[in-house]
């Protein structure tokens, strides 16, 4: 009799019951031959769905079902969980431990830490330098799978390796993806969408609180308005001169150097000046501080901003008002980031720089 090694993910035990829509997503993925993407709004339990999919895939090995992934006699289900940021490695590790997975069965693969185990959590950037790890894994989970689009040429190469084995289990997770955009063709082809659960549905069923957006209009000071108009005029004049109106086109002119490159550089300089001006406007900063101090004095608040200049200015202004805040930006390492978030309950507010990817 052939005995198969028990997979670590088989130890998965949630301290709660998965919701009906989550189980439907798992069933849909299983029915699709252990391949596909699950499009679920943020906060609706995508990660738990992924873990349950992995457990069910491991069961397919034990039972040798028709959907069984490829395996060797006596093997277990080696899982590679890909995430976009290092901080998510730590978060998923803690979740797996809380759900009953032995720590010795989990590996963290990033930077100088190169632990490969039955369940390995890695960043996309780290795993592209170890294609053997992709090939060795019997199941790949792509968190934020939209980041591996065709426009991200290096990351999209992971799919080239993943599809070498037609029986490798593949699961994509994302909150949003434009199915009609050509840059997602590979993702949609390799990991067709098997289940959607969007924000509107989650709010309607009471899974998420309805988001409320309240615009608060402010005005530029006279000095700020003059500077804004000056920058806008310079941007317009340079754009009209070359008939180029976007950053991509201006970048090509920048590479030419000389007089043309100088004007392109001036274009970018004025665009940045205008952006910083808008994000750091005096009345805007004052309005935010007033909102926090008067309407939410004893509540935890998280503030997102596009520029680091504005978030630093806000932090300084809050300190003048006696309001303590902490800051997270792209330079904050994963350990410090986790400490700040964990201690959030003990501070009045948290400033978080949010960089828009456009």
Say how many Å lie between the first and final Cα of the chain, rounded. 57
**Nearest-angstrom CA–CA distance, 28 and 36:** 9
Choice between 58 and 338, residue whose per-residue pLDDT is larger: 58
Q: What is the pLDDT of residues 86-124, one digit of tens each?
A: 889 988 999 999 999 999 999 999 988 899 999 999 999
Phi, psi of 77 (to 5 degrees): -90, 105
Q: What is the pLDDT of residues 263-290, one digit of tens each?
A: 999 999 999 999 999 999 999 999 999 9
**Nearest-angstrom CA–CA distance, 163 and 132:** 13
**Nearest-angstrom CA–CA distance, 46 and 304:** 24
Output the pLDDT for position 350.
63
**Nearest-angstrom CA–CA distance, 323 and 237:** 43
Choice between 66 and 328, residue whose per-residue pLDDT is larger: 328
Output the pLDDT for position 327.
86
**Side by side, which strands form the sheet with 325-328?**
301-305, 349-353, 325-328
Averaged confidence pLDDT in the chain: 87
Output the pLDDT for position 200.
86
* Res. 62 pLDDT band, cuts 50 70 90: low
**Nearest-angstrom CA–CA distance, 355 and 330:** 9
3-state SS of 62-128 is HHCCCCCCCCCCCCCCCEEEEECCHHHHHHHHHHHHHCCCCHHHEEEEECCEECCCCEEEEEHHHHC
Output the pLDDT for position 182.
86
**Interval 55-76 mean pLDDT:** 65
> What six digits make up the tokens of 340?
């700040």
**Interval 316-322 mean pLDDT:** 90
| Domains and their CATH numbers in the chain | 8-204 (3.40.50.300), 222-279 (no CATH), 282-353 (3.40.50.300)
Burial class of residue 63 (count of CB atoms within 10 Å of its CB; 0-12, 13-18, 19+) = exposed
Which is nearest to 76 in space by CA: 62, 90, 92, 63? Answer: 62
* Res. 154 pLDDT band, cuts 50 70 90: confident
**Nearest-angstrom CA–CA distance, 121 and 123:** 7
Give residue 66's Cα distance to chain centre: 34
Q: 45 by DSSP, 3-state: which?
A: coil
Output the pLDDT for position 356.
32
Phi, psi of 68 (to 5 degrees): -60, 135
Among left, alpha and beta (phi > 0; psi -120 to 50; other), residue 188 is alpha
H helical segments located in 163-245:
185-190, 199-204, 222-242
* Res. 314 pLDDT band, cuts 50 70 90: very high
Output the pLDDT for position 355.
36
**Nearest-angstrom CA–CA distance, 91 and 112:** 18
């Amino acid at each position: 009799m052939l005995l198969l090694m028990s997979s670590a993910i088989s130890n998965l035990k949630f301290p709660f019951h998965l919701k009906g829509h989550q189980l439907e997503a798992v069933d849909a993925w299983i029915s699709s031959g252990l391949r596909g993407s699950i499009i679920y709004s943020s906060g609706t339990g995508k990660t738990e769905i992924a873990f349950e999919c992995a457990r069910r895939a491991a069961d397919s090995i034990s039972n040798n079902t028709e959907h069984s992934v490829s395996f060797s006699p006596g093997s277990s289900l080696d899982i590679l969980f890909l995430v976009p940021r290092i901080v998510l490695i730590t978060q998923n590790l803690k979740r797996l431990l809380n759900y009953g997975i032995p720590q010795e069965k989990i590996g963290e693969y990033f930077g100088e830490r190169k632990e490969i185990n039955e369940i390995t959590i890695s960043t996309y950037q780290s795993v592209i330098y170890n294609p053997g790890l992709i090939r060795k894994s019997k199941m790949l989970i792509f968190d934020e799978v939209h980041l591996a689009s065709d426009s991200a040429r290096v990351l999209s190469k992971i799919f080239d390796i993943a599809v070498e084995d037609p029986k490798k289990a593949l699961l994509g997770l994302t909150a949003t993806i434009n199915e009609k955009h050509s840059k997602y063709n590979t993702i949609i082809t390799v990991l067709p969408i098997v289940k959607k659960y969007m924000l509107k549905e989650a709010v309607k069923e009471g899974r998420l609180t309805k988001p409320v957006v309240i615009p608060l209009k402010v005005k530029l000071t006279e000095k700020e308005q003059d500077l804004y108009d000056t920058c806008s005029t310079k941007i317009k004049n340079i754009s009209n001169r070359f008939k180029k109106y976007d950053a991509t086109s201006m970048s090509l002119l920048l590479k030419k150097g000389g007089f043309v490159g100088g004007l392109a550089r001036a274009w970018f300089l004025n665009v940045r000046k205008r952006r910083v001006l808008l994000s750091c406007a005096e009345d805007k900063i004052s309005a935010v501080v007033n909102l926090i101090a008067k309407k939410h004095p004893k509540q935890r608040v998280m503030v997102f901003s596009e520029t680091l200049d504005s978030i630093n200015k806000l932090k300084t202004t809050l300190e003048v008002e006696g309001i303590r805040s902490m800051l997270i930006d792209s330079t904050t390492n994963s350990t410090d980031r986790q400490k700040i978030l964990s201690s959030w309950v003990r501070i009045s507010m948290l400033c978080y720089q949010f960089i828009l990817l456009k």
